[in-house]
Amino acid sequence: MSPSDPIDAARLSLALGDLRLPAIKLIWPEFAVRADKEGWPAARFLAALTEHEMAERARRRIERHLDEARLPPGKTLETFEFGALPMVSKAQVMALTAEDSWLEKGANLILFGPPGGGKSHLAAAIGYALVENGWRVLFARTTDLVQKLQIARRDLALESAIAKLDKYHLLILDDFAYVNKDQAETSVIFELIGTRYERRSLLITANQPFGEWGRIFPNQAMTLAAIDRLVHHATIFEMNVESYRRRAALERKRGPGRPPSRATINANQIDAPRQEA
């Protein structure tokens, strides 16, 4: 196993390159020296090399998936202020990122709350944790995605564009309620929701309750049908808290030594029975 023979080492390096085993190609001389020194059997040597290759592939895969996820930087569970949102259960959020049954059945997450209440941060943090656990995620502002799907529809490629989003186990639609049917034909979003229903998961952040969603979709029937599909097997967090940004500004104005304002929040989980629209 010693890499002392330059010809054999060169042949092995070429072979490992052809076999696309870059981690083994890089590390095998070091492992070979250690194996010779410690008297490893051949099986242990091969196992050590293959385990290292698998670990490196997993690391590179996570890096690729984080890059394609387009998550806002720095928005992780470690930096999320659970203490400012006492009714958002950290244990529940951690469970959602650790277990996979809800993703496997295409269940959804919906985060309601005013601007600055932490919805986008929590959504991104959940997405980041899921990527680290092996899932594929895409974070997008809903208005941006609507524009892209509109272009695809114009080019007669909407079905293909939506199909490409299927590779993501979780699609995060940030600022959903900012979409306005007077600005864009948002029926493309309805088609996306319908296509992913009970197949692929959505995470939606919105600053308006369901009752205000009539201004998003072209008609009431489509609005009710979209809501119906979203809430079926959904976890909903109602983050009705004071804006982080507003609170921080007030505390800066208040100055040091004064007690901070307290935030209140209601969070609940539902698995609502589906009602036909």
* pLDDT greater than 50 at residue 68: yes
Residue 255 pLDDT: 57
Q: Convert the pLDDT of each residue in 148-170 to its tens digit.
A: 999 999 999 999 999 999 999 99
Indicate the average pLDDT of the chain.
85
Residue 3 pLDDT: 54
Q: Is 147 exposed, middle or buried (0-12, 13-18, 19+ CB in 10 A)?
A: middle
- Most trustworthy range by pLDDT among 6-15, 217-226, 254-263: 217-226
Q: Convert the pLDDT of each residue in 187-240 to its tens digit.
A: 899 999 999 999 999 999 999 889 889 888 888 999 999 999 999 999 999 887
* pLDDT greater than 60 at residue 251: no
Q: Is 35 exposed, middle or buried (0-12, 13-18, 19+ CB in 10 A)?
A: buried
Q: Which residue has the higher pLDDT, 25 or 164?
A: 164
What average pLDDT does this structure show over 102-120?
93
What average pLDDT does this structure show over 167-185?
86
Q: How many C-alpha atoms does 150 have within 13 Å on its Cβ side?
A: 13
Query: What confidence tier does 277 reach under pLDDT thresholds 50, 70, 90?
Result: very low
Residue 56 pLDDT: 92
**In angstroms, rounded to a whole number, what is the distance separating the alpha carbons of residues 204 and 110?**
5
Q: Is the pTM of this model over 0.95?
A: no
What average pLDDT does this structure show over 116-131?
94
* pLDDT greater than 60 at residue 253: no
Residue 140 pLDDT: 97
Instruction: List the beta bridge partners of residue 137.
Output: 170
Q: Convert the pLDDT of each residue in 77-91 to its tens digit.
A: 999 998 888 878 899
